[in-house]
Amino acid sequence: MIFDLHTHSNISDGALSPNELIQRAKQFNVDVLSITDHDTIDAYNAIDQTELANINIIPGIEFSTYWRKINIHIVGLNVDINSPVLKKIVKRQHTARQERAEKILTILSQKLNIDITLDEIKQYSINNIIGRPHIAEYLVQRKLVKNIQHAFDKYLGEKKIANIKQIWLDLETIIDAINRSNGVAIIAHPAKYKLTRTKLIELINDFKTLGGQGIEVVSGKQSPKLACELGKITNDHELYASCGSDFHQPNTYSSEPGQFQRLPAECRPVWDLF
């Protein structure tokens, strides 16, 4: 069985609609798929029942939050998408996204000496759930940067002038909301935060104390050595292991749905809990 428990649709910053994403996952023989858009569960309202043949869908979400001033992502899996707690938290995150977008646009307008309005950026998003990739796309279209990567490297990425921090709900609130929605909280792509091993263990300990249950041991194209190390850490902390492509769009260097290595054999897969 192929499980892909971390993917994005165009409801957040992916290229494919939820239905197209499911079709693509089937092309790559995914048996169990979670669409984990950034801070939204709207994809689940856009799925046609006819797409659900020959695949199992696990409702999910990727929350933006922070730990010790470091932005991190927590995936919530098998959540009840009708949960009032989840809906409330999602709404708060949307407000935070909106406020952040406005701050980013103010900075960019000043820096580039042009007027950029929120309405212009909204055209790049569906449901007005604005992420930095939408702003990057706008900058590319206006020929203010060469490409998306350049927009992050120059303005939007870590430590750049338009990177706004600490706007999200905190880790405790996010994990609590996932648990109260009957879901499982997972630390997404732990290697992406560039933490030292000591810091990573501290994050994992705090995460577990707050009710977190799993770690993404395999995230897209990563080295087998890393999966082995993360698998061991996950087992040492008696946590469950998850895996996902973090798919955003077809035909790029990043991995396609289901196209990543298997979890290390000694890991307890998170789907044991579903």
Which is nearer to Mn ion, 62 or 137 (by Cβ)?
62
Residue 182 interface partner, choices ligand AMP, Mn ion, none, CB cut-off 5-8 Å depending on type: none
Closest Cα partner for 233 from 262, 271, 207, 260?
207
Q: Is 246 in the site for Mn ion (CB under 5 A)?
A: yes
Enclosing H/E stretch for 191: none
Q: Give residues with Cβ within 8 angstroms of 149, minimum separation 6.
A: none
C-beta neighbour count of 94 within 10 angstroms: 17
For position 248 contacting ligand AMP by CB under 6 A, the verdict is: yes
Q: Does 132 bind ligand AMP (CB under 6 A)?
A: yes
Rounded to whole angstroms, the Cα distance separating 63 from 240 reads 18
Task: Write down the least CB distance from residue 38 to ligand AMP, Å.
Answer: 4
Q: Under rule CB under 5 A, how many of the chain's residues touch Mn ion?
A: 5
CB of 192 to Mn ion, least distance (A): 7
Residue 13 Cβ vs ligand AMP, minimum distance, rounded to whole Å: 5
Nearest residue (CB) to ligand AMP, 64 versus 231: 64
Contact 196, 202 (CB under 8 A): no
Interface with Mn ion includes 256 (CB under 5 A)? no
DSSP 269: B
Kindly report the CA angle at 40 between 83 and 230, in degrees rounded to 5?
Answer: 95
DSSP assignment of 25-67: HHHTT-SEEEE--BT--GGGGS--GGGGTT-EE--EEEEEEEE
Q: Could you say whether residue 189 binds ligand AMP (CB under 6 A)?
A: no
Interface mask (CB under 6 A) for ligand AMP, residues 135-164, using x and -? -------------xx--x----x-------
Span near Mn ion by CB under 5 A; candidates 42-50, 55-63, 169-177, 231-239? 55-63
Q: Is 37 in the site for Mn ion (CB under 5 A)?
A: no
- Residues that bind Mn ion in the complex, under the rule CB under 5 A: 13, 62, 73, 188, 246
- Residues that bind ligand AMP in the complex, under the rule CB under 6 A: 13, 38, 64, 131-133, 148-149, 152, 157, 248
